[in-house]
């Protein structure tokens, strides 16, 4: 897997309570064609698969479960985020190092400039880290 700093949502981010990813990805503003009345609509997940990775890098402990939502917004403060994809709910026992959480590509609906992850924790985790981002491709054996 190849990860780029500019395409990372989380880099060994400790997830002990509900939180958003430490980073967001700026996909760029929609362009306006010459003489067009408005910007061209965009949907980054609507064509070619763009791989994403959400991987546990340290076993989780404590707490009850974790769910991940991918959110988009037209501003970097995410004042009105829209959820475009969600993982299933994972119980703590399943959140072991190497586990990949299934949002494998940017989904259809990634139609705004900014994208981030929201980690919803039930209970209080005492350990657990995640690395997540847009990748050049994912290795899937053994996870």
Give the whole-number percent of the chain exceeding pLDDT 90.
Answer: 55
pLDDT band at 27 (very low <50, low <70, confident <90, very high): confident
Give the whole-number percent of the chain exceeding pLDDT 70.
Answer: 76
The residue that leads in pLDDT, 67 or 112, is 67
**What's this model's pTM, rounded to 2 decimal places?**
0.84
Average pLDDT for residues 100-129, to the nearest whole number? 88
Give the 3-state DSSP-derived string for the chain, with helices as H, strands as E and coil as C. CCEEEEEEEEEEEECCCCEECCCCEECCCCCCCCCCCCCCCCCCCCCCCCEEEEEEEEEEEECCEEEEEEEEECCCCCCCCEEEEECCCEEHHHCCCCCECCCCECCCCCCCCEEEEEEEEECCEEEEEEEEEEECCCCCCCC
pLDDT band at 143 (very low <50, low <70, confident <90, very high): very low
Tens-digit pLDDT profile for residues 44-74: 555 567 778 899 999 999 999 999 999 999 9
**Which domains does the chain show, CATH number per domain?**
3-27+45-135 (2.60.120.1110)
């Amino acid at each position: 897997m190849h990860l780029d700093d500019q395409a990372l949502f989380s880099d060994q981010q400790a997830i002990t309570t509900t939180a958003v990813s430490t980073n967001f990805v700026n996909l760029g503003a929609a362009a306006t064609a010459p003489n067009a009345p408005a910007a061209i609509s965009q949907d980054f997940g609507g064509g070619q698969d763009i791989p994403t990775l959400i991987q546990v890098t340290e076993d989780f402990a404590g707490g009850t479960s974790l769910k991940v939502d991918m959110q988009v917004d037209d501003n970097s403060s995410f004042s009105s985020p829209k959820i475009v994809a969600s993982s299933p709910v994972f119980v703590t026992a399943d959140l072991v190092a190497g586990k990949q959480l299934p949002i494998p590509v940017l989904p259809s609906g990634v139609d705004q400039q900014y994208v981030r992850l929201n980690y919803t924790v039930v209970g209080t985790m005492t350990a657990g880290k995640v690395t997540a981002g847009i990748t050049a491709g994912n290795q899937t054996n053994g996870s």
